[in-house]
Structure 1
């Protein structure tokens, strides 16, 4: 078998100019970011409007006769109305005083925002007053008794001579009190502390009970809580339920200085100027650049350097299959060119043409040009030798055919 033909002289390979430009986006795409920003601003504005609208709804907290929460007393209010009692909810002491009549029960929780004088003015026209929360100040002001830290988890009964409590069953009281002299103490524990204090003097009825736990919406159905609420508030046909608040208070409170009060006058204008300067700088330096320009990179790489570099990478990776594929691909392209096949002829077509030209079985040529790749270095050397022999045989056959013409 003759020696393989000499390789053609190496030619310098010049890489194509590499473009650093990208396809410029369409003009309408430039506005997508601004559209997204506008939508976010609109969404944030709608969210703030919804939050401000929800904050404008008056809060109905614990002890409120219109409160629907666990500690609100709307359920007790509706029960009273079902029993024919007129319940009038007022939120200012002026309206409360104006609504009180001879046959009126004044109900309220601790008037924390009223001074002692304002509380006296509020209670003076009412013959019957029921306080539905514990307050040390109200205990002293009405001379009903004292507070105590004692508590009980056991159910207690009225154990007093008030006729309206005769049909009320057991309750689990909240806070307990020590009755003052002459004050009726109902629902007592073993030590004499009472859950309900009543001053039933002639022409005056003053009662106090910690009703936040007994008369809340979530607890009204327990034990005799509902019956006790009716017994205290349903003795008259008219109930004026006063709801205290800071807006209706007469106690002046000294507001703590805000951050604006503590800072110098020049701070706010300086902050505004810095914000405006930042916006101006963003508009000045944040403008869009023009399209990228393609540049020709004058880099020339010799074919031998590329070949040797790829060979070193393949040898370092110990990838015999990849090396064999590169060798076989070169052999297929050279065989196709020598057999006058088109440039895109695949390995199967080249194998068929080689088998016809050399008069050898197609299976052997197909296995060599399109079969499995070698997996070891020894197989790679043998595979390369067989490809070289096949190319030499085809060259000899092509020369012999040309010599006979």
Structure 2
């Protein structure tokens, strides 16, 4: 009895032990994940709050250590408010959702402007017609320009190249392009830099990338890092109408077609005359139906179809005369008629089935032969009647 009672106790202790082990492992995993990642969430490349290799949190921390106040904003209104609060350097990626006017208005409110990974439109609008160049293998190159930040940094890494516009200084030349563009506008500068090769957490420790980043981004005591979003798209722009999107000749052509259609409808509608109300069902006399079909056959010139109708009616009458079934095939009927008349079966088949008239004259001849055949059959039946 003691051993039987101890078995459930051992199983209960084993189950409790396994449950405790799983709970401890889950707690350790949760604690380790929180400790390692520290609440980190996936963000885009060049995001100032991203610790990933292609993020830029490291350069933000360096700027803060140098006494620069960094404000990260993620919508256009917040960026404008931050720039109004104090003279600041504006750092931003390309913002294709902003119109040219919004882009100029935002950058006018800033002190210095640093464009990180700009595209052709931003370069054209903000750097006097500059444009994108080639993309080369990421490698170090000397500055080869008189910009103080580039001179102090020395060699830095370059990957994407830009073509300078009028009055724009190019630094870090390579294969016909430049890794950094600087446009001096007197009281401020507008700079374009290859952010993925210079500013990311992965690239910052290489050569003079960190010094170049601090020199370009740390000129003012305050910095506003604007991360564009789709919600910043200009909503005041009116949606173009279909008339604005189509060529000028489309609208007159559509009006002309409409007028032509209405004119054709009126012209054809007048030919039918007024509508006549007629009660249904309508009884049509048999002779009217026959004459109507005859006119249709005559108008169509289909002699073979007309003869088929005559043959069909004649076969029905012959079946009744010979006492055959109503479902007797036409071939058997022809054989019965030939046997009754004692004539060649091929001739009877030609009259009842095979002959095809091509003209009205041949149709009349075939109709006469069909009538004569039916008359002959009737004559043979009358001779068999019992005289009174």
Q: TM-score range by the shorter chain?
A: 0.3 to 0.5
Relative contact order (C-alpha < 8 Å, sep 6+): which is higher? 1
Structure with the largest fraction of helix = 2
TM-score (norm 1): 0.46
